[in-house]
């Protein structure tokens, strides 16, 4: 049996556009001779639809799109994700063939952790769906259903399937896909059934979906793998005799008694004409740096394009964060859609402006220089009476950052381009940022990327490019906000090689300060950092969204109260 996984980039709420993407993929799959074509989870509506699901008209539109698609499926079988509405709302997979909806499966495991809120919206399904497609037994599941060994996966094994068809919208974080692929191989092996897994690709607000759809045989061996971060039509031939033969040779399932619940639902279909074709592809996987870079590029591109912005504006300070953000933006959008703006103050060194100019030249982007000293002086003059008798401090420093934010937003309003904020996760964690200043922007690509990873990605990108795109001077210079004379980040924070491991343990793993001290971290640094993280929650709530790259990103993943007296303990 030839199976196709349509790894497509959907847009939430764009039912007409998603329908056309699915139609195009189905036409290409059928032209290649695929009997079964899978689409991602909720492919017709896009994932996640969030509170759109609370509108009855949304579910009705999803059903209308499904019926329109079904009428087009006159050859083979298509399994498509949609929003079903009976007495409640369901995350569903429809089986389309012979011009109509032949069967519907309702997702049984509804994730409600991390970025997921499915129990808020959906009623869970209660039973399996097994199909008889040209004599092959095919079980249908949706994403979370396949992650647990029981009961759904165990029931798939009991059903003596030839193929498990899993549609999915599994969001990216670094290194997740490796574990997911191992899990899927285990499910196929344990069930003695081939497994086709079709995952969504693309960016949706903070989330990025990596794709990496796979087709695995009944022994758990990889047959085909789609690339990461790109749309693809993954096609492979599955030898149906291997599943039944393996169950005879390795009778691990013999003690599992089949149930009447697994009676196969026959699917009426017109056969797809046989077609030749090249062998299945097994896409190679990028390095960890390449994986993270690809996620960030896709996240920026889809956020900008799907929200209709013509381009982006970036404040170029000469520092590494703005340099990396600009390099990502150029890779995502092209140099003609990226504008860099340097805004030197009296504390900005000549090297900073020179490095920003060198970066802009290397990237081929427009570069403007707007000195802010006169504007800052005007603010200080207006505030002189209010500040009289008080020494200069963070108030004057933040004025500079806020003037820069105002300049960038004025350019954005005038030209329509979106401002990209350049702050990283290390800074956001401890509040080393200025509300309405460097936090200004519509999207923050590095929001979930630590400073350590910023340096790692900058050096990696230069190696990939084979030239010095990001000036080496920018990489080598001690990080500084340049808001006062001779300022360094280390004046306010531990060195990043100390700070970032503490942040990872405290934020990603929820380890209390005492446990971090026991692991060898300096007590004073741990207590200081934990306090800074807790006090900065109000700032993070007001920052722009950014690409989720870790298992515990701020916002959707880590949800802490702003008003909170529990403290770090």
DSSP state letter for 496? H
Pick the catalytic residue: 5, 118, 143, 158?
143
Residue 452 CA to residue 479 CA, distance in Å, equals: 12
Candidates 132, 89, 120; CA nearest to 107 is 89
Residue 357 CA to residue 365 CA, distance in Å, equals: 10
Q: Which residues does residue 138 pair with via DSSP β-bridges, in sequence order?
A: 131, 163
Q: Does the annotation count 176 as an active-site position?
A: no
Please work out, in degrees rounded to the nearest 5, the angle formed at the alpha carbon of residue 168 by the alpha carbons of 163 and 174.
Answer: 120
Between the alpha carbon of residue 96 and those of residues 200, 226, 385, the distances in Å are: 19, 24, 73
Q: Does the annotation count 107 as an active-site position?
A: yes
DSSP state letter for 489? G
Quick check: 412 and 310 in contact, CB under 8 A?
A: no
Distance, C-alpha 223 to centroid of its chain: 25
Cis geometry, peptide bond prior to residue 48 (ω within 30 degrees of 0): yes
User: What values do phi and psi take at 222, rounded to 5?
Assistant: -70, 130
Residue 343 CA to residue 341 CA, distance in Å, equals: 6
Q: Does the annotation count 198 as an active-site position?
A: no
Strand pairing report for 130-133 and 100-106? unpaired
State the first-to-last Cα distance of the chain, in angstroms, to the nearest integer.
57
> If 0-12 CB within 10 Å is exposed, 13-18 middle and 19+ buried, where does residue 565 land?
exposed
Pick the catalytic residue: 5, 75, 107, 548?
107
Residue with tokens 């910023």: 454
Three-state DSSP at 10 gives: coil
* Percent of residues in the chain assigned helix, strand, coil, to nearest 5: 40, 20, 40
- CA dihedral (519, 523, 529, 532) in degrees, to 10, reads 140
Residue 176: other Cβ atoms inside 10 A: 17
Q: Considering Cα of 410, then 411, then 416, then 422, what sign does the dihedral take?
A: negative
Cis geometry, peptide bond prior to residue 97 (ω within 30 degrees of 0): no
DSSP state letter for 28? H
Structure tokens at 160: 């003596």
Packed helices 15-31 and 56-72: angle between N→C axes, nearest 10 degrees: 20
Three-state DSSP at 255 gives: coil
Active-site positions read 41, 107, 143
């Amino acid at each position: 049996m030839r199976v196709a996984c349509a790894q497509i980039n959907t847009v939430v709420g764009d039912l007409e556009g998603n329908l056309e993407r699915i139609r195009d993929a189905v036409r290409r799959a059928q032209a290649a001779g695929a009997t079964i074509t899978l689409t991602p989870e909720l492919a017709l509506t896009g994932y996640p639809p969030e509170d759109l699901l609370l509108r009855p008209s949304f579910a009705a539109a999803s059903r209308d799109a499904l019926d329109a698609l079904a009428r087009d499926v006159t050859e083979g079988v298509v399994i498509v994700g949609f929003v079903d509405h009976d007495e409640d709302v369901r995350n569903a997979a429809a089986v389309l063939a012979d011009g109509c909806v032949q069967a519907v499966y309702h997702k049984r495991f509804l994730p409600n952790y991390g970025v997921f809120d499915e129990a808020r919206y959906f009623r869970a399904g209660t039973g399996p769906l097994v199909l008889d497609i040209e004599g092959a037994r095919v079980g249908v599941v949706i994403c979370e259903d396949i992650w647990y060994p029981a009961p759904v996966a165990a029931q798939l094994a009991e059903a003596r399937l030839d193929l498990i068809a899993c549609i999915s919208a599994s969001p990216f974080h670094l290194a997740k896909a490796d574990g997911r692929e191992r899990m899927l191989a285990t499910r196929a092996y344990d069930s003695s059934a081939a497994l086709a897994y079709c995952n969504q690709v693309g960016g949706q607000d903070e989330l990025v979906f990596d794709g990496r759809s796979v087709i695995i045989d009944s022994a758990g061996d990889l047959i085909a793998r789609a690339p990461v971060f790109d749309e693809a039509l993954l096609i492979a031939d599955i030898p149906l005799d291997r599943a039944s033969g393996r169950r005879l040779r390795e009778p691990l399932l013999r003690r599992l008694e089949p149930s009447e619940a697994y009676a196969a639902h026959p699917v009426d279909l017109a056969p797809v004409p046989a077609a030749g074709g090249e062998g299945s592809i097994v896409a190679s996987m990028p390095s960890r740096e390449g994986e993270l870079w690809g996620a960030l590029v896709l996240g920026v591109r889809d956020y900008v394009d799907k929200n209709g912005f013509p381009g982006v504006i970036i404040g170029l300070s000469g520092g590494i964060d703005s340099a990396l953000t600009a390099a990502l933006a150029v890779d995502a959008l092209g140099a003609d859609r990226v504008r860099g703006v340097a805004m030197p103050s009296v504390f900005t060194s000549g090297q900073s402006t020179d490095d920003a100019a060198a970066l802009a030249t290397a990237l081929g982007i427009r570069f403007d220089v707007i000195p802010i000293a006169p504007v800052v002086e005007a603010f200080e003059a207006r505030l002189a009476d209010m500040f009289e008798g008080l020494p200069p401090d963070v108030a004057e420093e933040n004025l500079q950052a806020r003037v820069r934010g105002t300049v960038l937003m004025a350019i954005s309003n005038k030209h329509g381009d979106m401002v990209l904020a350049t702050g990283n996760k290390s800074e956001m964690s401890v509040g080393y940022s200025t509300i309405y200043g460097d936090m200004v922007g519509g999207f923050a690509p590095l929001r979930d990327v630590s400073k350590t990873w910023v340096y790692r990605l900058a050096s990696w990108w230069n190696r990939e490019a084979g030239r010095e795109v990001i000036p080496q001077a920018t990489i080598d210079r001690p990080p500084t906000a340049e808001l006062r004379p001779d300022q360094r980040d280390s004046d306010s924070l531990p060195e990043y090689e100390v700070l970032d491991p503490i942040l990872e343990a405290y934020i990603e793993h929820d380890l209390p300060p005492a446990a971090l001290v026991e692991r060898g971290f300096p007590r004073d640094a741990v207590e200081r950092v934990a306090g800074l993280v807790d006090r900065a929650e109000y700032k993070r709530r007001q920052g722009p969204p950014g690409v989720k790259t870790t298992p515990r990103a701020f916002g959707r993943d880590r949800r802490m109260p702003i008003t909170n007296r529990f403290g770090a303990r």
